[in-house]
Amino acid sequence: MIRLNPYLSFRDTARAAMEYYQQVFGGTLTLNTFGDLGNPEPALADLVMHSQLETDRGFTLMASDTPPEMAHTVGNNIAVSLSGDDADVLRGYWDKLSDGGTVTVPLEKQMWGDEFGMCVDRFGIGWLVNIGQPG
């Protein structure tokens, strides 16, 4: 399975925003902080590294807090997320989307165990690709 959905970026307000969206749309919200996922930096420990809202109507919304060292521009704080466990297909999408664009995070294994990369395609659209482990 491969999922395509919006991914929102916030500066320190992802938890409040996602809790609000859960009130609006209903569904199940999962939140993982930087601390939960192994980042020892105290300033990041309670910030949201990844959150996902799954609604009964089939909507999926993902979001995170942008770490202080990364640029965060309101109005440019949305990307498209491709995620799933079909590694070959997702790597193919990555290769095509990053061709002629700018890779901001290389597609490689991350601390949470998945392969993950970020790029901006040749048309200026931000993409996140996460290849989960089958199982």
| 98-132 per-residue burial string, b: 16 or more CB within 10 A, e: under 16 | beebeeeeebeeeeeeebbbbbbbeeeebbbbbbb
Query: For the chain, which domains are there?
Result: 1-67 (3.10.180.10), 75-135 (3.10.180.10)
What confidence score (pLDDT) does residue 22 get? Answer: 96
What confidence score (pLDDT) does residue 135 get? Answer: 66
| Residue 41 CA neighbour count, 13 Å, CB half | 10
The answer, yes or no, to whether residue 97 has pLDDT greater than 90, is: yes
- Nearest Cα neighbor of 17 from 69, 58, 77, 57 is 77
Q: Look-up: residue for tokens 């993982």?
A: 32
What confidence score (pLDDT) does residue 29 get? Answer: 98
Its pTM surpasses 0.75: yes
